Amino acid sequence: MIEVVPATPAHTATVAELLGEMDQFYGASELEPISARLQHINTALFSDPPAGFALLAFEESAAVGIATYSFLWPAVGLTRSLYLKELYVREAHRRSGVGTTLMQALKDIAITHECSRIEWTTDEENLGAQSFYKELGFVRLATKLFYRLSNPAD
């Protein structure tokens, strides 16, 4: 059985481990030191106000997936949206319902917070993610372009 729980400060090392794995999945060859990763996670998730939130998926007490998200405002009219920043499932647990369970938990959170939509992006070359979203019935939105400013201080 897959259990999804909100990340708490006690989960910081687990969050760091899963996000480190995710970074390597996306091609990172080096990770910052664990002390820096733990500090960033604590600041982002558990400060006041938090920059974001995380859900952890466990199967038989082993962490098998993570979803990180935040809320954006305004969305439709003056409603808010839930923005899914990252969804990662460990390779050995893909196609076992973990991702679907995390997506359902995100839907439940969006409903609780009266969000008018859930939004996210995926890399063009991440065909596995695109296939997963398509299987869940989600349609790619072709009317938006994604921009990024990597170093705002520059």
CATH number at residue 119: 3.40.630.30
149 domain-assigned: no
Domain that holds residue 131: 2-135
- What pLDDT score does 154 carry? 86
14 domain-assigned: yes
Please write the tens of the pLDDT for every residue from 62-111.
999 999 999 999 998 899 999 999 999 999 999 999 999 999 999 999 99
141 domain-assigned: no
Number of domains making up the chain: 1
- What pLDDT score does 76 carry? 87
- What pLDDT score does 113 carry? 97
CB 16 within 8 A of CB 37: yes
143 domain-assigned: no
Percent of the chain with pLDDT over 90: 93
For residue 25, CA distances in Å to 18, 63, 115, 139, 144 come to: 10, 17, 30, 24, 26
Backbone angles phi, psi at 101, to 5 degrees: -65, -40
148 domain-assigned: no
Average pLDDT over residues 36-57: 97
Specify the amino acid at residue 145.
L
24 domain-assigned: yes
Q: The tokens of 54 are what? A: 């995380």
